[in-house]
Amino acid sequence: MLDMELIRKDREAVATALAKRLDPAEVNRALDELQRLDQERRALITEIDAERQRRKAEARAYAAAKRAGTAPESVAPEAERKQLAELESQLDEVQSRLRERMSELPNLPADDVVPGGKEANRVVRTFGEPPAIEKVRDHVELSRLLGLVDHERGVKLGGSGFWMYTGVGARLEWALLNWLIDQNVAAGYDFLLPPHLLLDTAGFAAGQFPKFYDDVYHLDRESAPRGQFLLPTAETAILGAYQDEILDTATLPLKRFAYTPCYRREAAGSHSDERGTVRGHQFNKVEIFQFTLPEQAAAALEQMVAHVEGLVARLGLHHQTSLLSAGDASASMKKTLDIEVWMPSTGKYKEVSSVSWAGDYQARRAAIRYREAGGKQTRFVHTLNGSALATSRLFPAILEQFQQADGSVLVPEVLRDRVGTDRLTPGR
């Protein structure tokens, strides 16, 4: 969430940044309420502190009178004790309301992030050229022709929005995952295999709750009284694993990655852009994550984007990198760059990775800090995350970009040893 001190000191700058994502009138109403609650909270703290100091003074006077043998006066009558309890209860309520209102606001976009939606996204780099294909088949047709994905039995098992990799298709999917794991280890990221069921606190820490609470699969409260859900991305798990910790400054940047299936309620689309494995309720993804000092974060973002671009390039896929506008990026992120692969069947690019910098927004929600060198004071870390990569979109991009006139598909060179062949052919 945002820094209340920054809102106090420079409300205009906060309002200007938030207006990239929200209606300015809505921003001003939200900031008015936050400042009112903050003033109420500070006034209550002052009143409570004054009352506690008065009681301490009375207690000291009582003790001194007793030692002197004089008749001490009664300390903190019952009515006054109730008054203090009432003040503390009011403070709890105000702080709860303030935290709730703060949690609803999005992150402040970086200076170079422009307002607007998808139309305002800007391509910053392009790798290679679209392959020349005389007669383009889409990935769904190729998957069926080559026996790689069984969509019908996937639906039979899980319902709409599910599929099942089969035969050499399952081998290609697994080869992709294993290759990505090896590449991320080589880049200095430590490998994690987290639980797939997370507590609601992890969803709040990542900024997904409360706004996107209904986008994930939840266990019923009888089975999970503390609140549990199936993770929508390993980002949530990696961040949540370090909640309420003070990280050793010498270990920063802390680089982690995880492989998990991802579970989302969003429906698979019937539009050509969303067919096949492009969008569904369960898909595989490898996620990279960094915890950094504030001054390390900008360089970390560049390094992570370059790393993901390198992965897609080594697979031989034509792609581009786009800087997202404020309205198209996740509300939790200051800045996001998407790496997008070319899909010949639609003549469009499809995102296979979002690499994002959250600043200290997630760290505030998760209470993840570091201690400044030589001091006792703690500060919030910065967090960054990125898909490296989402295989359910790499898979169709490989099929479409490497398809041949005879219906076969060349296997990317880096995967051939793992798949066991250099070409996918019908009936194999």
CA 79 to CA 232: how far, in whole Å?
A: 52
Q: How far is Cα 361 from Cα 335, in angstroms, rounded to an integer? A: 12
Indicate whether 268 pLDDT > 60. no
Distance of CA 382 to the CA centre of its chain: 13
With beta carbons less than 8 A apart as the criterion, state whether 162 and 281 touch.
yes
Residue 71 has pLDDT above 80, yes or no: no
How confident is residue 65, by pLDDT bands cut at 50, 70 and 90? Answer: confident
- Distant-in-sequence, close-in-space partners of 132: CB < 8 Å, separation ≥ 6: none
Lowest average pLDDT, out of 117-126, 202-211, 230-239, goes to: 202-211
* Dihedral (CA of 327, 332, 338, 341) sign: negative
pLDDT at 424: 97
Please name every residue paired with 261 in a beta bridge, in sequence order, or none if there are none. 284
- Mean of the per-residue pLDDT values for the chain? 94
Q: What is the mean pLDDT of residues 224-242?
A: 96
**What pLDDT is stored for residue 6 in this prediction?**
96
Among 262, 242, 244, 266, residue whose Cα is nearest residue 254 = 242
Which two tokens mark 7?
A: 């809102």
Question: What sections of 147-295 are H helices per DSSP?
Answer: 151-158, 167-186, 200-205, 234-241
What is the number of alpha carbons within 13 Å of residue 245 lying toward its C-beta? Answer: 10
pLDDT, residue 376, reads 82
Residues 423 and 410 sit within 8 Å (Cβ to Cβ):
yes
Q: What is the pLDDT of residue 309?
A: 98
pLDDT for position 66 = 80
Percentage of the chain modeled with pLDDT above 70: 96
- For residue 72, pLDDT over 70 is answered with no
Which pairing describes strands 164-165 and 149-150: parallel, antiparallel, or unpaired? antiparallel
Distance of CA 86 to the CA centre of its chain: 39
H helix or E strand, kind and range, residue 191:
strand 190-192
